[in-house]
Structure 1
């Protein structure tokens, strides 16, 4: 596997930006793993090592990105934050912004992961939630990280949200005012929404506030606190917008159905990136390995185009399942934002995660 050093990745950035500006369409070849659809071309800056599961199995899945107000220490290493990524056969990885593994937790069959800041015992802590398909504990497994910790300070188990969902699949956090909401999506489209808090002893407390059915196999989940929207991807139907407010029930609007050159089944991961006053929704169109983008801070979502990740410093991206994005300064290498995507077919070894500079994507799509 080609894994450039941080210096080499930084040195390659100008070339990547130039490549992004000189964009053209990729020939559409139909659905299936390893197939690239129509879209402007971008290149990833760097990648993680192969996810640990051997035998080339489908293992890497969904990532999350977290950055603190000041640098933190993860397992003895100082970093602005971290990327969490699931191995759905084995557990949870914590990566640095250079792609290196900072920590691995053998936590079982975790599928989707997200991160949020939460007050615990009067202190701001980072809480990670992951949909958990491990027999005997299906639900949402919770983990906690102390941003003020030192030494061998790592992510550690915190508890769980119990649920009646048989096969937990998608997961995301969302904020409504001072409340943190945890949204779990079952494989067959069952949705369970909880309010998450901590009790006087610093243990997690959850309260279910809504349940509804999407209709068929679903996974992707992203919540936008600014507009009170909850976006869910029904894999063979399209991307829906619901209200994040539990009182909105199951009312919804289809913002994009399955459509050639827009969104090819399966519609998989969803993520939201805030860039100043603008906010963008990014989806992974697994059938043609492309990523449609909408601007969502207006009265209605506006389609901005889509991108594909071609070979460059590291190999291109195909068959993406999960993805995550964070706007603003992430690190020296990603001063305006970072998009992390799962790569289903890696060039060497098993699946892994690719890091893409948001500036490269903006340049490719012509976003100001």
Structure 2
């Protein structure tokens, strides 16, 4: 792995020296949106159930080439979204609620394929869980070939020594499924997830490192073997997905006006044909920087903002996810789903943005 250049290392030290505590977004940026190419969201989910609090947090998207059934409803895929005070929502690609799992204090959620239980391929969901007495990673299964009342169901958990699990993402490394947990205080834990003979999850810790200060956003780019981590008040780091590389990393982008305004929150990777993009959330000015990452080094291509349209715009985002390629009929080339901190009606929710609109706005 290439070490930081001197200039980047100095920038990291300067910013890190100021990052002694979390700068939580408290709505002070409401109505103040940074510079970025404007796009609009064509649809949104209902408000999460917890009213009057910072509750909706992080989404994950899964799509199928053939329709599946969730709770008796046929759908081409789903969006999982956390209410970090109450549990996990499963939404259709039209934004409607398909299922709610009252699973407690789930914060970040992700989804992965590649594991089978009882000889049946499963979609696995994982979420960082801050519920007292079971902190760690809570796991869920969805059987895409299931019928009748088929739905997302609890599977098990990965225990950890992290006191307050925060960020979470899955990654594929060869045939292995990896689960990456980011703690509130900057702990980094990486596990290999397998299925035991009894059909229950089995985990093996393969890396532990310290990021340095409060961190959350997590996204993997398997094609380049990259693991991107957002240190909220410092900047965007690239780690190698190979756990043997330990805590070696490169600072891709420090916190800086016009690029990332603290907090750096959600991170996600989108495949668009041969191109791959990393999208982040600059919570402090409600903008979304986009880097192209399929070249020798990440290249910032611009930022977008989500303005009022069919539904209200997006401010103060905690989390986001993206999926390229066909995602139902409404999003034939991909979709980005984004948490909205200040919703115009009701409490916090999630909004869907067509990837074609973002691509056109940034001339990608």
TM over 0.5: yes
Counterpart pick for 2:76 among 72, 77, 80: 80
Name the structure 1 match of 2:157. 160
Using the TM superposition, give the Cα deviation of residue 120 of structure 1 relative to its aligned residue in structure 2, in angstroms: 2.2
Q: Residues 66 and 82 of structure 1 are in contact (CA less than 8 Å); yes or no, is this contact kept in structure 2?
A: yes
Q: Residues 131 and 171 of structure 1 are in contact (CA less than 8 Å); yes or no, is this contact kept in structure 2?
A: yes
Name the structure 2 match of 1:90. 86
SS of residue matched to 2:126: strand
1:60 is aligned to 2:56: yes
1:51 is aligned to 2:48: yes
Q: Give me the TM-score of the superposition, normalised by structure 2.
A: 0.91
Name the structure 2 match of 1:236. 233
Ranges in structure 1 where 5+ consecutive residues have no aligned partner: 1-29
Counterpart pick for 1:184 among 170, 181, 185: 181
Counterpart pick for 1:199 among 196, 215, 220: 196
Name the structure 2 match of 1:328. 325
Using the TM superposition, give the Cα deviation of residue 319 of structure 1 relative to its aligned residue in structure 2, in angstroms: 0.1
SS of residue matched to 1:236: coil
Q: Give me the TM-score of the superposition, normalised by structure 1.
A: 0.90
Name the structure 2 match of 1:112. 108
Question: How many angstroms apart in 2 are the aligned matches of 1:305 and 1:222?
Answer: 19
Question: How many angstroms apart in 2 are the aligned matches of 1:36 and 1:252?
Answer: 31
Question: How many angstroms apart in 2 are the aligned matches of 1:271 and 1:31?
Answer: 25
| Shift >6 Å, 4+ stretches | none
Distance 1:158 1:34, change over 3 A: farther
Using the TM superposition, give the Cα deviation of residue 32 of structure 1 relative to its aligned residue in structure 2, in angstroms: 2.6
Counterpart pick for 1:355 among 349, 352, 358: 352
Name the structure 1 match of 2:16. none
1:319 is aligned to 2:316: yes
Question: How many angstroms apart in 2 are the aligned matches of 1:211 and 1:108?
Answer: 26
SS of residue matched to 1:332: coil
1:307 is aligned to 2:311: no
Q: Residues 34 and 319 of structure 1 are in contact (CA less than 8 Å); yes or no, is this contact kept in structure 2?
A: no
How many residue pairs get aligned? The number is 337
SS of residue matched to 1:312: coil
Using the TM superposition, give the Cα deviation of residue 31 of structure 1 relative to its aligned residue in structure 2, in angstroms: 6.8
Using the TM superposition, give the Cα deviation of residue 119 of structure 1 relative to its aligned residue in structure 2, in angstroms: 2.2
